[in-house]
A and B are shown apart, each in its own frame.
Chain A
Amino acid sequence: MPDRVPIYLDYAATAPLDPRVADLMSECLRDPALQGNPASAHAPGRAAAVHVESARGQVAQLIGAQPESIVFTSGATESVNLAVLGAARAAGSSKRHVVTARTEHRAALDACRQLEREGFTVGWLKSGTDGSVDPGQVAAALRADTALVSLMHANNETGVINDIAAVGRICRERGVTFHVDAAQSAGKLPIDVDGMGMALLSFCAHKLGGPKGIGALYLRHRPRPALQPLQFGGGHERGLRAGTLATHQIVGFGLACELARVGLATEPARIRALRERLWAGLQPAAPVAQNGAAEPGLPGILNVRFPGVEGESLLFALDGSLATSSGSACSSATAEPSYVLRALGLSDLAAQASLRLSLGRETTEEEIDRAARLLVDCVRRLRAPLPAGASEAIA
């Protein structure tokens, strides 16, 4: 068994809580002056509300929005659900068509499937083999009754970036509400909600060093998109998201956004250089290939496949040394490969031979070099006993 903590390369799943955020949240939880309900009119409530509103400003600033455009939720999944279900249901009986892509996160896919059960028609776009969705395809998919287009800014598995500004222009011209899932890109790429033309944008704290359990939905101020709430009971967040606001979570989210915003000047370049170093370090394990276009891509995601290597064995060989995600649910009874990788044209076996390596704030050069050596050793060890012809057959 390894004698040290595994190298963490799963930032796309979640990022470790930034210690500065943890300290602030802890202070907030302990401060007797901040124990009131931010919705209450008394002094402790007002004190908590001041902190909530300050954090709302920090969250808004990360995406170039006004504070009043931010609705706090429990995370990106809830934000996406609120945006997709809320916007479609609010569009009225003449607008029963929604457009999204097959490579979206399950939060959007499952929300769209729910809309289908409710009688909506969903246009499911296919990405190109590079993983991106062509804005021209979006334009072609729009109909007179399209209520909503929902696309992710950057794919959570491949890191491939969609041309959101181009889709935003198309939607604006056609008067269609545009929602962007920015769970992976917020704090990793510059986002300017006005310039990019979206009406709704979802993101969360825990992908950028904040706490789990808190997220935000941006709603364009003018014209404001129509939105039906998903839950009821108190009229919080301007009636769009009922429930007492969690002051410490929101304060932590605010600081995480502030730190990410400041880091945007230097972190993307540093992390991109680490990703390139990792890719170079994996070359001794050739054949090795990248899934999805490398550029434009999120700086911190490298999705690689090692032809001839079985995914579960690779994860098992790395277990305890490297924390990462595979391209399949290979340990489940169904052994279902990643639908995102399959959508790129990969075979089931190629998807299963894939790993998503995602880097972040605390990733170091030493970790990258050690991770590359580990991966090369494991891949070579697993390829050594392959039957003749297996590597080609399983590519």
Chain B
Amino acid sequence: MTGLRTTYSPLVRELFERLPHAGDLAPGPGTVVHGEAIALDRGAWVRYEARIKDGRVADCAFRAWGCPHTLAAAALVASRMQGHCIDAEAAFDAGCLAMELDAPPEKLGRLLVVEDALSGMLARALALQLT
């Protein structure tokens, strides 16, 4: 048996404590899209849900299972997606998240799951807009 050995940045601690945007979207106008990525072997499962209005993310929520870095990254991305244009290049790749959260290298695989869930959601939003 082991104890906690990883260190966590103040931002990870703050996001983990509050988990902003965790849960489900409240009912409201606009189209709702989802994106989900599951990698149990890597220790992460992330699902995003966003309401799209006028080509932008009007609201975003997430559900997730994973380590503190995964949960903090999922919350950080959900916060930053508010008002984000769906066809703009998202600046939330795993490398950027790792840098911003000061995550150790072994967490990169889990942050890729966050990135995959987000990419899936934005791709669906874009596809809906094109149709």
- A313 and B40 contact, CB distance less than 8 A: no
- B23 and A315 contact, CB distance less than 8 A: no
- Residues on the B chain within 8 Å of A335, using CB: 43, 106
Stretch at the interface among A217-225, A230-238, A279-287, A325-333: A325-333
- B65 and A327 contact, CB distance less than 8 A: no
The DSSP consensus for interface residues of chain A is: loop
The DSSP consensus for interface residues of chain B is: mixed
- B2 and A329 contact, CB distance less than 8 A: yes
Q: Bound complex: CA of A324 vs CA of B40, how far in Å?
A: 25
If A313-B68, A384-B23 touch, whether A331 touches B5 (CB-CB below 8 Å) is yes
- A387 and B63 contact, CB distance less than 8 A: yes
- B64 and A316 contact, CB distance less than 8 A: no
Contact flags (1/0) for B24-58 with A, using CB distance below 8 Å?
00000000000010001001011100000000000
If A312-B68, A316-B68, A330-B43 touch, whether A387 touches B2 (CB-CB below 8 Å) is no
- Residues on the B chain within 8 Å of A331, using CB: 2, 4-6, 67
Is A27 an interface position by the 8 A CB rule? no
- A326 and B2 contact, CB distance less than 8 A: yes
- Residues on the B chain within 8 Å of A328, using CB: 2
- Residues on the A chain within 8 Å of B2, using CB: 325-326, 328-331
- B1 and A310 contact, CB distance less than 8 A: no
Specify the chain A residue showing the minimal Cβ separation from B66.
A310
- B40 and A338 contact, CB distance less than 8 A: no
- Residues on the A chain within 8 Å of B67, using CB: 310, 312-313, 316, 330-331
Specify the chain B residue showing the minimal Cβ separation from A331.
B6
- Count of interface residues, chain A, beta-carbon cutoff 8 Å: 37
- Residue pairs across A and B with CB atoms within 8 Å: the count is 88
CB distance from A356 to the nearest CB of B (A): 5
- A157 and B1 contact, CB distance less than 8 A: yes
- Residues on the B chain within 8 Å of A38, using CB: none
CB distance from A190 to the nearest CB of B (A): 25
- Residues on the B chain within 8 Å of A323, using CB: 3
Specify the chain B residue showing the minimal Cβ separation from A13.
B1
Is A390 an interface position by the 8 A CB rule? yes
Interface bin, chain B:
20 to 34
Specify the chain B residue showing the minimal Cβ separation from A326.
B2
Is B98 an interface position by the 8 A CB rule? no
Q: Bound complex: CA of A393 vs CA of B39, how far in Å?
A: 11
Q: Bound complex: CA of A13 vs CA of B114, how far in Å?
A: 35
Specify the chain A residue showing the minimal Cβ separation from B47.
A387
Q: Bound complex: CA of A183 vs CA of B112, how far in Å?
A: 43
Specify the chain A residue showing the minimal Cβ separation from B7.
A331
- Residues on the A chain within 8 Å of B1, using CB: 12-13, 156-157, 325-327, 338, 356
Contact flags (1/0) for A356-394 with B, using CB distance below 8 Å?
100000000000000000000000000011111010011
- Residues on the A chain within 8 Å of B92, using CB: none
- B3 and A325 contact, CB distance less than 8 A: yes
- Residues on the A chain within 8 Å of B60, using CB: none
Q: Which 3 A-B pairs have the closest CB atoms?
A: A325-B1, A331-B6, A385-B22
